[in-house]
Amino acid sequence: MLIPESTMSEQLAEKMALGLGDVLMARRNLAHLLRKTPLEYSFLLSQKAAGDVYLKLENWQKTGSFKVRGAINKMASLSPAEKDRGVVAVSSGNFAVGVAYAARALGEVPVTIFMPTNTPSSKIDKLAEFDVEIILEGATFDETHDISKKFQRERGLTFVHTYDDPLVVAGQGTVGLEIMEQLPEVEAILVPIGGGGLVAGTAVAAKAINPQVRVIGVQTEASPSAYLSLKEGHCYERYDAAPTIAEGLAGGFGLVPFTIARNLIDEVVLVGEEEIYKAVFFLLQAAQLVVEGSGAVGVAALLSGKVNLRGKKVAVILSGGNIDIEVLSQIMDRVNGQGEP
């Protein structure tokens, strides 16, 4: 018997439903293993944006990225047998480190990490302290994902998805929960978007506490999968991204985040490569903050005028700080040595 498409959509939405209670449970799972990152006022950015701008420093999180939050929440849910057999994950870097950290913190769970061949060396190097198997295969995230799923099925392991899992989304939502506690009067939150776990979790937490808060996603022009998904009403789960300094945001928008948050995200804006370069440089020069391209897109949106939040209290999530030193050097030369790009 064929199930009507509308019924299938309703069943899918029910299965992926996520609420504030799930985010609160996630916080209980990870609170003793991670830090509550600061929300720091930025005087210079506030001047430039003509508002009150606060930076959520997930680049200061353990492992250098928010990704570890979702990894811990997912792996905390596994049965003893699943933990014994081990897990498989695919990542361009930050989620890989998050899974490795979670595996060690939760009892030395065996981990195999698949990474695209273009993964920055800084992110691969961060895995050196963990007892994990690293396999570099696939030119894109989607290609690497397919290879890793085949490996996982053949060995009967548990797949830990970087964003397409409600438990991972709930873990990432603890970032939004913290912002709402640290700045209850916040009026807008700027969130980097790749696969969508962070923006979906943040939107669930923030809107549950204050439905008037605007949740604004920021994506690179090189990979506008979320922008197109929300604009056109269907999910671009795969997207062939152009080369970008924000490699962590490249690829498709997850069906789980799309289903959970399509009606909670107020807007998605796109920023270009030059704007991301300037944002990374600004954060380093003006705030002494090392932030990777993916983590700086919210600041890029403010500096470039892609969003007008004049007079508003704004939180900008700096989602990660794991930038390759050579890339950072190139940005400094390009922006500082040669003037405005």
Catalytic residues: 67, 319
Tell me the DSSP string of 118-133. Answer: T--HHHHHTTTTS--E
What's the one-letter identity of residue 171?
G
Taking residue 1's Cβ as centre, other Cβ atoms within 10 Å add up to 2
Q: Are 333 and 326 in contact (CB under 8 A)?
A: no
Q: Are 321 and 55 in contact (CB under 8 A)?
A: no
Which among 226, 205, 177, 210 has a CA at the least distance from the CA of 56? 177
Q: In whole angstroms, what is the distance from residue 34 CA to residue 28 CA?
A: 11
Q: In whole angstroms, what is the distance from residue 264 CA to residue 207 CA?
A: 7
CA distances from 176 to 170, 208, 273 (A): 10, 10, 26
What's the one-letter identity of residue 134?
I
